[in-house]
Amino acid sequence: MAQKSWMYSVLEAVQWEMQNDPRMIWIFELTPPVASNPGMPVINLETEFGRKRVVNTGIDEYWMASCCLGASLAGSPAATYIPYQGALMPFEVIQNVAGKLRYMTGGRASMPVVWIIEMTGQTPGFAGQHSCYEEDSYYAHIPGVRTVIPSTPYDAKGMMHAALRSSDPVVYLYPAGLRTLVEEVPDEPYEVPLDKAALRMEGSDLTIVGSGAGMPEVLKAAEALTAEGMGVEVVDLRVLKEMDTQTLVDSVGKTKRLLTVDQSYYTLGPGAEVIARVATEVEGAKYKRVAFPDAPPPASPEMFTWMRPDAEKIAGAARALV
Amino acid sequence: MTDIKPIPGIWFILCSMGPRSLVGRKLEDTVMESLTRIAAPSASQDDGPASESRRGFLQLAAATGAVVSMGTRAFANGDIAFYAKDLSDEKLVDMYRTILKIRWHERTQADQMLTNPDYRGYNHFYAGQEAVATGVCATLRNDGPFEQIDLAYSSHRPSGHAIAKGVDIPKMCAENDFRATGLNNGYAAEMHLSDPSVGFVGADGMIGPSMPIATGSAFAFRARGSDQVAVVFGGDGTYATPQFHSSLNNARMLDLPFIYVLENNLYHQYAHYSYSCPHKDIARAAAAYGIPARVVDGQDVFQVYNAAKEAVDRARAGGGPSFIEAKTYRYYNHWGAPGATAGELGAFGYDPLAITSFRPEREVRAWMQRDPVDIARKTLIDWGTLDAAAADAIETEIKAEIAEAFAWAAQQPLCTPEDGLKHVFADGAVPARQFG
């Protein structure tokens, strides 16, 4: 047990799985699988496992994703880290092959593959292609692929173990904006299930549902609202597919107020799905959605920070709802 | 830098520095050797710049259906032709001015980033590569009706291409600093700079998409009977992308007026290109697609011009695509100004982001010995186009022009937040959704 960063926690899980399964492979481009943590040994998958198992490739995310799929079909658990610049380049092979293969083969295909898809840090100034946050909606739409989006180092490690041990293909979204988060994370391997949302705060007046990089601002808003006397319940989705409907329905059944928060675009964002699922189960609830507008992120920090959901905007929407 | 001649053997050394040896390299060397015997008997590693004779060029073309680079150095193709030597003094000086504009834009911006806490812009610096953008764009039509000018597609490292194509520099400076009156009204910043009016289709922050898109523009030119050409600039990192291969194959199959300018500055982001390409000369890959390919010394603007002129002439005449690999080097790190010092050219020392491979200081300094500004200046003095005093005066003038551009940009208004909802479609604005 020690205070660990997001990436250190993830690589700790990968390292354990690779040590315990000599068949497993890892592919990366540009972002080396290296992490350090105060008081802990440096993890470097490339030097520990060698370049037959851990490869730095050229800029070709379609190949990276396909190679890992092929390795998994050959019986080797496989993972790749796709940096945000290439986050949707492998979409076709994940959507049209991996997502359908188990089904199309009548259940015969087994795919222990994890695609770590980095999402941007939403850094103001980096403009359209380097500040966007939209992969959650695209990947969550695919049947047959488990799409998860851990928002804490603890969940990141546990979900990585679970993803690598699963015979289903997993899109493991990594919002780079969370890279500075640090928390107590056990040294031993453990699993966090790939189908359960997490209740982060309990309250009876309002449910706020968020995910991924939106969570720190959601929690900040919830704390401010709690200080004002509002009873806020916070649900961290953690899993976009299969979405944990029961946790959502139970919460809104109690609060009768639901505010969803997405960093991604408004149309067909995770919040749209959350509201649709709750509305068909819960009578008499009220709803609001906070999301990035249906516009690419602009370069100008003045425009961008105004458009991006933050704690102040989330709290404002909550006050209007309750 | 006292001599415009390349340092003997520098290419051999630099290109052998790859961190891993590849099985394929042995095979390649064998192939290279046999090709060299056919076409470039005079090229060796020790005798300085070597020339391919026109006859050798033709023999090779007959043997392979393509022209590929010989020898181990970029300048093995030294005297491709003499186009640049026939240019007017005015045109030659104009090319020199363009190189200086790019250089002083980069240096001024780096100094702004290092010394001015209010400055917010960033750049993937192009310093060191100026001769490539300048030499290529000097062969293109950069003004006139949109239906007649040549189109250039740039990369994530666009400032040099933009200046060489003729983009308004003060407006570009304003855009890079997120100003409402910038080239693209603050929506683009560096990685999406665009000005179709000079044929600068624009920058692209991604690696790959621009090449097949550029072939699409070339397809349109061919379809409507225009003699326009489409040029794409990409780095050595583009070799590994599927788009590299699909753009070359389709351009060749359809004989498109398409020119692929690959600026091999040895590093894609923080990895040496030997991590992603088995060829020492990436131009070899283009030759395999049946496309005439040249390797040029990317530090010598006139060599670049000659190769580009040959390619543009071929494309305008309906002869199809060409590939130019310019051996070059960036003086700064991949992004921003880590390791740089205000007032000093180049970045040295360890880049904290460069974990896979980083650039040895001696490598940076060796390349700076073959500086594109110095080479252009010395060549023009050697040709009698300029004397030292005139060259100095031009540089002083350009430096002041760039300083003025940055000063103007700094006075421009910031963007209005609500404007972020405009320009999603041709008309109107999308609704705000961030307030619930």
Q: In the structure, what pLDDT confidence band is assigned to residue B422 with cuts at 50, 70 and 90?
A: very high
Angstrom distance (rounded) from CA B16 to CA B136: 28
Q: CB distance from A321 to chain B under 8 Å?
A: yes
Please tell me if residue A141 touches chain B, with a CB cutoff of 8 Å.
Answer: no
* Mean pLDDT, all residues of chain B: 84
Q: How many angstroms away from the CA of B64 is the closest CA of chain A? A: 28
Residues of B in contact with A30 (CB under 8 A): 268-271, 356
Nearest to A85 among B206, B238, B239 (CB): B206
Q: Are A256 and A154 members of one domain?
A: no
Residue B435: per-residue pLDDT = 97
In this complex, the residue of A30, A60, A129 whose CB is nearest that of residue B270 is A30
φ/ψ (deg, to 5) at A43: -100, 125
Which residue would you say has higher pLDDT here, B375 or B42? B375
Same domain for A51 and A149, yes or no, is yes
My answer on whether A114 and A33 are in the same domain is yes
Chain B residue whose CA is closest to A84: B206
Residue A225: domain span? 198-321
State the average pLDDT over residues B68-80. Answer: 42
First to last CA, chain B: 62
Task: Report the residue of A59, A63, A130, A132 to disrupt the B interface, i.e. the one with the largest count of B CBs within 10 Å.
Answer: A59
pLDDT per position as a tens digit, A8-28: 999 999 999 999 999 999 999
Specify whether A75 is located in the same domain as A208.
no
What was the ipTM of the complex prediction?
A: 0.94
Q: For residue A27, tell me if it sits in a domain.
A: yes
What CATH number was assigned to the domain covering residues B10-412? 3.40.50.970
Q: Give a yes or no: residue A68 inside a domain.
A: yes
Residue B130 confidence (pLDDT): 98
DSSP string, B273-300: GGGT-S-SSTHHHHHHTT--EEEEETT-
Q: Which of B238, B358, B434, B435 to mutate to test the interface with A (most CBs of A within 10 A)?
A: B434
pLDDT at B258: 98
The number of beta carbons lying within 10 Å of the beta carbon of residue A113 is 30
- Across B388-411, b (16+ Cβ under 10 Å) vs e yields eeebeebbeebbebbeebbebbee
- Helices then strands, each counted (H, E), chain A: 13, 16
A145-179 confidence digits (pLDDT tens): 999 999 999 999 999 999 999 999 999 999 998 98
Determine whether A316 is exposed, middle or buried from the number of CB atoms within 10 Å of its CB (0-12, 13-18, 19+): middle
CA distance B346 to B207: 24
- Asked if residue A79 and residue A203 are part of one domain, the reply reads no
> Among residues 104-133 of chain A, which lie with CB inside 8 Å of chain B?
125-130
Counting the structural domains of chain A, the total is 2
| DSSP letter for each residue of A1-60 | -EEEEHHHHHHHHHHHHHHH-TT-EEEESSS-SEE--TTSPPEEHHHHH-TTTEEE--S-
Q: Are A75 and A99 members of one domain?
A: yes
B205/A317 touch (CB, cutoff 8 Å), yes or no: no
Map tokens 């393509």 to a residue.
Answer: B66
Q: Which of A116, A150, A185 represents a domain boundary (last residue)?
A: A185
**Mean pLDDT along residues B391-396:** 98
- Interchain proximity A56–B421, CB inside 8 Å: no
Amino acid at B412: Q
A contacts of B421 (beta carbons < 8 Å): 293, 295, 307
Of B122, B187, B277, the CB nearest to A298: B187
Is the distance from CB of A15 to CB of A53 less than 8 angstroms? no
Q: What are the angstrom distances between the C-alpha of B268 and each of A30, B214, B265, B358?
A: 8, 21, 8, 11
Let me know: does B255 contact B318? Beta carbons within 8 Å.
yes
Per domain, the residue ranges of chain B are: 10-412
The answer to whether A42 contacts chain B (CB < 8 Å) is: no
**What's the rounded Cα separation, in Å, for the pair A219 and A200?**
8
Taking residue A75's Cβ as centre, other Cβ atoms within 10 Å add up to 10
Please write the tens of the pLDDT for every residue from B231-277. Answer: 999 999 999 999 999 999 999 999 999 999 999 999 988 888 998 99
A22 and A145 inside one domain: yes
CB contact under 8 A, A32 and B355: yes
What pLDDT is recorded for position B11? 30
Residue A190 lies in a domain: no
pLDDT of residue B357: 65
CATH number of the domain bearing residue A67: 3.40.50.970
CATH assignment of the domain containing A220: 3.40.50.920
Tell me the angle at which helices B372-382 and B301-316 cross, rounded to the nearest 10 degrees.
90
Quick: pLDDT tens for B356-375. 667 889 999 999 999 999 99
Give me the pLDDT at residue B38, please: 28
Pair A24, A154 in one domain? yes
Any domain includes A193: no
Res B28: pLDDT: 36
Q: Is B151 a residue whose pLDDT tops 90?
A: yes
Q: Which of A132, A159, A185 is the last residue of a domain?
A: A185
- CA-only gyration radius of chain B, Å: 21
**Confidence category of residue B16, pLDDT binned at 50, 70, 90:** very low
> Domain boundary at A163, A185, A207, which?
A185
Residue A41 has pLDDT above 60, yes or no: yes
